[in-house]
Amino acid sequence: MTIPVTIRIQQADFDIAREIAALTGGRTDIGAVVTFTGICRGSEGDAPIAALTLEHYPGMAEAEIARHAETATARWPLTGLTIIHRVGRIAPGENIVLVVTCSAHREAAFHAAEFLMDYLKAHAPFWKREEGQSGASWVDARDHDEAAASRWTER
């Protein structure tokens, strides 16, 4: 069965309620919807952040997300999936990324959303540049994110 899968990379903000409605409208087979929203923080530790700028690799970013979406739909009985990643300048409090997973029951929706976020962070070609008080700098990758992604292959 093919399920509705939407993947978008865009500068514009997204409306979470509208994205859920687009997946669930007119359907009665969906018993669970999980959403994850990544939001720009106003500080990193004690250091204030004025904004983030997200760069991506056009073409490969979409392809990597699509590849992981296929893995998720093969691994869990999902009935709908939407992934939106913003690029460009994003201010504290603004949305960065959205994952919406639908399934008949909650377990698959929870697990797939977590899997997709772990993989997005470690493998999708996006880079954050942080504007702080003393100029801008590229955000360093965290070992924690790589470890979070790898635990899904160890099960």
Residue number with CB closer to another protein (37 or 91): 37
Instruction: Give least dist CB 86 to another protein, A.
Output: 10
Instruction: Give least dist CB 104 to another protein, A.
Output: 27
Nearest to 97 by CA among 141, 146, 43, 52: 52
Dihedral (CA of 84, 103, 34, 38) sign: negative
Residue number with CB closer to another protein (108 or 118): 118
Residue ranges in contact with another protein by CB under 8 A: 38, 54-57, 59-61, 63-64, 85, 96-97, 117, 120-129, 138-141, 145-146
Helix (H) or strand (E) holding 114, with range, is helix 106-123
Q: Collapsing DSSP states into helix, strand and coil, what is residue 71?
A: helix
Instruction: Give least dist CB 67 to another protein, A.
Output: 9
Residue number with CB closer to another protein (24 or 55): 55
Residue number with CB closer to another protein (47 or 141): 141
In sequence order, the β-bridge partners of residue 86 are: 10
The structure tokens 């300048």 sit at 89
